[in-house]
């Protein structure tokens, strides 16, 4: 299905699949007199919930992204994310705001399988990108969200696109349902940026835990306090970069082992530079340490993985797992996010 938002005629759209019917249903809801639409959260960091969002705030978010990426009227975009979640709905909002030509593909792990034309803009999950490396050169501006982009995947993207004659820009996103998709972007190709840069009209600050607070009145009237521990991209002597931050880990994921606080995401990124598997670090109750650091890897144990693990150069001894556990398959949300808390329950 292709939808030209510069000449939108919903009654002339033909749905050939359930997903396309959902798209048309949402478009009808979008152009209706209702000022709000319903959004479902993924449940990756808590209980899934449904809440209502004002359409004009979604358009504000869409404008921020389109301005940041320089998208123009008539540009093409690809929608390959579930329409139930903010990620899919915001692709519609961006196409509507900037009058894009939207190509609709059923959400899958291989969304570019049928794509053979160049596309100006697309949003995908890391897993979708992993399975589309042979065609990502077709996407001029690609944003990756829903989960952190591993160093291993960044290296693969870099290797693939450096050999491509096309000009591509790829960004990792930071955001949540309550901020109507992302509020910050970090370029990972052609530049490898260390810090996220917030979009226009977004203010950030820290609480006493060094967790990020977000004030974006055009997106949400409330000041949003996250549990994400971050480091700002400025020092006390240099206040010029108050719009940049580095994600360190979630406060509620921090593992306290023998009095040492461990950020699991930090060590996961280290391992994912060489191990091409989904994995997480978790804390298991321990009488001596309080919490014992364990590594959980998706899939089956193999000599190859054991060899890769033996070569990991950990920052310090506290980061070395006391135990390694293999799970055949990690529990995931409908949009592909690993449900970390559910993994921890299983072990």
Nearest of 187, 184, 185, 186 to residue 202 by alpha carbon? 184
CATH number at residue 77: 3.40.50.12780
- pLDDT digit string (tens) for 275-326? 988 999 999 998 889 999 999 999 999 999 999 999 999 989 999 999 999 9
- Tokens 């299905």 locate to 1
Nearest of 318, 267, 317 to residue 296 by alpha carbon? 267
For the cut 70, the answer to whether the pLDDT of residue 48 exceeds it is: no
Q: Specify the pLDDT at position 279.
A: 94
For the cut 80, the answer to whether the pLDDT of residue 173 exceeds it is: yes
Task: Supply 71's token pair.
Answer: 């998208």
**214 and 281 part of one domain:** no
Indicate the residue among 202, 231, 248 that finishes a domain. Answer: 248
Q: How many CB atoms lie within 10 A of CB 22?
A: 15
For the cut 80, the answer to whether the pLDDT of residue 145 exceeds it is: yes
For the entire predicted model, the pTM comes to 0.85
CA-to-CA separations, 108 to 104, 160, 285, in angstroms, rounded = 12, 21, 37
**67 and 138 part of one domain:** yes
Please say whether the beta carbons of 110 and 96 come within 8 A. Answer: no
- SS3 per residue for 164-187: CCCCCEEEEEEEEHHHCEEEEEEE
| Mean pLDDT, range 57-76, rounded to an integer | 96
**302 and 214 part of one domain:** no
For the cut 80, the answer to whether the pLDDT of residue 251 exceeds it is: yes
For the cut 80, the answer to whether the pLDDT of residue 242 exceeds it is: no
**306 and 182 part of one domain:** no
Considering its fold, how many domains does the chain have in total? 2
**18 and 103 part of one domain:** yes
**193 and 244 part of one domain:** yes
165 φψ region: left (φ > 0), alpha (ψ -120 to 50), beta (else): alpha
Q: Specify the pLDDT at position 163.
A: 85
Q: What is the mean pLDDT of the chain?
A: 91
- Tokens 């040492």 locate to 260
- pLDDT digit string (tens) for 175-204? 988 899 899 999 999 999 999 999 999 999
**179 and 196 part of one domain:** yes
Indicate the residue among 227, 248, 269 that finishes a domain. Answer: 248
Q: Specify the pLDDT at position 146.
A: 86
Q: Specify the pLDDT at position 44.
A: 54
Across the beta sheet with 279-286, what order do the strands follow? 279-286, 290-298, 323-327
Q: Which domain holds residue 285?
A: 254-346
């Amino acid at each position: 299905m292709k939808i030209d938002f510069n000449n939108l005629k919903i009654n002339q759209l033909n749905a050939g699949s359930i997903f396309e019917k959902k798209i048309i249903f949402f478009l009808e809801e979008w152009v209706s007199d209702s000022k709000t639409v319903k959004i479902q959260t993924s449940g990756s960091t808590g209980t899934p919930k449904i809440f209502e969002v004002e359409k004009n705030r979604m358009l504000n978010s869409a404008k921020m992204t389109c301005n940041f990426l320089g998208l123009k009227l008539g540009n093409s975009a690809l929608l390959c994310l579930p329409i139930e979640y903010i990620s899919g709905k915001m692709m519609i909002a961006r196409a509507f705001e900037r009058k894009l030509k939207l190509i609709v593909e059923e959400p899958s792990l291989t969304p570019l399988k049928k794509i053979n034309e160049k596309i100006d803009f697309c949003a995908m999950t890391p897993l979708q990108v992993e399975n589309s490396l042979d065609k990502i050169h077709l996407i001029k501006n690609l944003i990756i969200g829903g989960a952190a982009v591993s160093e291993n995947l960044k290296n693969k993207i870099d290797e693939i696109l450096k050999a491509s004659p096309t000009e591509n820009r790829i960004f990792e996103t930071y955001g949540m349902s309550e901020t109507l998709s992302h509020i910050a972007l970090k370029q990972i190709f052609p530049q490898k940026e260390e810090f996220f840069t917030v979009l226009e009209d977004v203010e950030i600050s820290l609480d006493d835990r060094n967790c990020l607070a977000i004030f974006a009145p055009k997106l949400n009237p409330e000041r949003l306090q996250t549990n994400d521990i971050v480091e700002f991209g400025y020092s006390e002597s240099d206040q010029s970069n108050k719009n940049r931050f580095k994600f360190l880990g979630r406060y509620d994921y921090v593992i306290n082992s023998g009095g040492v606080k461990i950020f699991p995401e930090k060590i996961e990124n280290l391992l994912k530079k060489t191990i091409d598997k989904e994995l997480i670090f978790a804390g298991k109750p321990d009488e001596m340490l309080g919490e014992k650091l364990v590594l959980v890897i998706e899939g089956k144990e193999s000599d190859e993985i054991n060899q890769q693990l033996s070569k990991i150069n950990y920052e310090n001894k506290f980061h070395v797992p006391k135990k390694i556990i293999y799970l055949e398959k990690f529990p995931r949300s409908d949009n592909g996010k690993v449900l970390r808390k559910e993994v921890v329950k299983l072990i």
